């Protein structure tokens, strides 16, 4: 979905997630042979190549070549430096390949083992933490945010459910011009959650809570504060102890500073003070906090895709109760055709998951229940191409091949003026 933790502004202003400078990137990218990790289906009796009874195409050598070609085409068109794509199914085969460069200066190739910033995929972890507290009886989804946090505009009316479902009506702090200037003038500066909320709360509310969908990072900052207040634990520790460790996600973390584990890809963005393309690898992600600060890698995102979509840890233990998970996966329509958004998760044409984007990095992690299939895309730029995020372009190209009846198709969003 175009609403990741990303665009600082759109046209004049936009979201840490939405919107776009439409600035072409100079220079080329490497589109040579992909770095592949061979994998095979583990089913005892795999279906024939023509079997698409579960809506998923068998990953034959010809289909794998189609995927290679589609990824290279998007890279050329959108001038993406490097990307890694993973497709996994229990019956139709698996596919993992990296293309292009992790570092344009050194020529280091992209590879499947790199840590990446995952932007708004962080929201899936933050909302999971909230829902665990719901299951524990410590908060209620229909509690108002004013019961936990003071001085929130409409705080006596906006519920935690409306915050998680992007229907609060609050102004998105990352669309504020003063925030944009503060970040781009010194991208390594730390931001506190209270400072971020200050950029939002100086604006009037946009609409009564629950009236409509409007993607807003402010919502997730508030939910992060609720988790901390109710649990009595810093959000980074809560997520580590209650989600990452039980899920076996050993290469995922919630950073408390700009530290970036190695090996990682260099990130490239045009969300800069000058509008020129710059490296953003070491920018401090505190400005995105519980809306988009987390780091992960391909294999952890592969595991997380099914975990978050089912509410069950890999060992079979419940992460979220079935009743609460059902509420999470209730995805009312959004302003984006074909896309519904539930509690920190979307459903686009049957694909369940989230995308992520912040300066220099994008990701897409989606799960297709009929085939128990997962697609993960991670790349090292967030520069739009003709109004679309490159992660969306990859998602569209890949799903046209593997689930032609369920294409991850999100129309380009025109820049606001």
Mean pLDDT of successive 10-residue stretches along the chain, which has 417 residues: 44 30 28 39 35 84 98 98 98 97 98 98 98 98 98 98 98 98 97 98 98 98 99 98 98 96 98 97 98 98 98 97 98 93 98 97 98 98 96 98 94 45
List own/partner pairs for 60-69 with CB under 8 A and 24 or more apart. Answer: 60/93, 63/401, 63/402, 64/95, 66/401, 67/95, 67/97, 67/398, 67/401, 67/402, 68/34, 68/97
First to last CA, the chain: 21
pLDDT of residue 412: 63
pLDDT of residue 298: 98
Phi, psi of 21 (to 5 degrees): -85, 130
pLDDT of residue 52: 57
pLDDT of residue 23: 24
Contacts with 143 (C-beta within 8 Å, 6 or more apart), sequence order: 159, 160
Q: What is the 3-state secondary structure (H, E, C) of 151-190?
A: CCCCCCCCEHHHHHCCCCCCCCHHHCHHHHHHHHHCCCCC
CA distance 11 to 410: 20
CA distance 159 to 143: 5
Beta strands in 33-94 (DSSP E): 35-36, 82-88
pLDDT of residue 366: 98
CATH number for the region 35-40+51-402 comes to 3.40.710.10
Residue ranges per structural domain of the chain: 35-40+51-402
The answer to whether the beta carbons of residues 389 and 358 sit under 8 Å apart is: no
DSSP 333: B
Residue 186 vs residues 20, 64, 176, 272, 282: alpha-carbon distances, Å: 20, 43, 16, 10, 11
Number of other CB atoms surrounding residue 250 within 10 Å: 12
Query: What pTM value is reported for the model?
Result: 0.90
Number of other CB atoms surrounding residue 177 within 10 Å: 12
Closest alpha carbon to 180 in 416, 21, 362, 388: 21
């Amino acid at each position: 979905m175009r609403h990741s933790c990303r665009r600082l502004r759109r046209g004049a202003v936009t979201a840490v997630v939405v919107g776009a400078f439409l600035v072409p990137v100079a220079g080329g990218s490497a589109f040579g042979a992909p770095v592949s990790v061979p994998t095979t289906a583990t089913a005892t009796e795999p279906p024939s190549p023509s079997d698409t009874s579960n809506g998923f195409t068998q990953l034959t050598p010809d289909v794998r070549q189609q995927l290679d070609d589609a990824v290279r085409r998007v890279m050329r068109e959108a001038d993406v430096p490097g990307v890694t794509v993973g497709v996994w199914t229990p019956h139709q085969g698996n596919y993992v390949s990296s293309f292009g460069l992790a570092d344009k200066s050194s020529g280091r190739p992209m590879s499947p083992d790199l840590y990446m910033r995952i932007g708004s995929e962080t929201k899936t972890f933050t909302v999971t933490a909230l829902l665990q507290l719901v299951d524990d009886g410590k908060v209620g989804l229909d509690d108002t945010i004013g019961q936990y946090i003071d001085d929130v505009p409409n705080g006596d009316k906006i519920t935690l459910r409306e915050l998680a479902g992007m229907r609060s009506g609050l102004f998105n702090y990352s669309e504020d011009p003063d925030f944009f200037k503060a970040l781009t003038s010194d991208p390594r500066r730390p931001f506190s959650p209270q400072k971020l909320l200050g950029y939002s709360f100086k604006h009037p509310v946009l609409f009564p809570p629950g009236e409509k969908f409007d993607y807003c990072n402010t919502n997730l900052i508030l939910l992060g504060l609720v988790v901390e207040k109710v649990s009595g634990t810093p959000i980074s520790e809560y997520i580590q102890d209650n989600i990452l460790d039980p899920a076996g996600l050993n290469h995922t973390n919630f950073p408390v500073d700009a530290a970036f584990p190695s090996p990682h890809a260099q990130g490239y963005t045009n969300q800069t003070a000058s509008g020129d393309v710059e490296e953003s690898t070491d920018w401090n992600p505190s400005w995105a906090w519980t809306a988009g600060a987390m780091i992960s890698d391909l294999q952890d995102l592969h595991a997380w895709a099914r975990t978050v979509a089912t509410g069950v840890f890999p060992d079979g233990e419940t992460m979220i109760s079935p009743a609460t998970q059902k509420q999470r996966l209730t995805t009312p329509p959004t302003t984006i055709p074909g896309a519904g958004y539930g509690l920190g998760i979307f459903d686009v044409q049957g694909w369940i998951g989230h995308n992520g984007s912040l300066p220099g990095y994008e990701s897409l992690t989606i799960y297709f229940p009929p085939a128990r299939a997962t697609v993960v895309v991670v790349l090292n730029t967030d520069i739009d191409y003709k109004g679309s995020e490159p992660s969306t372009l990859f998602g569209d190209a890949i799903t046209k091949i593997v689930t032609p009846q369920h294409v991850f198709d999100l129309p380009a969003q025109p820049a606001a003026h």
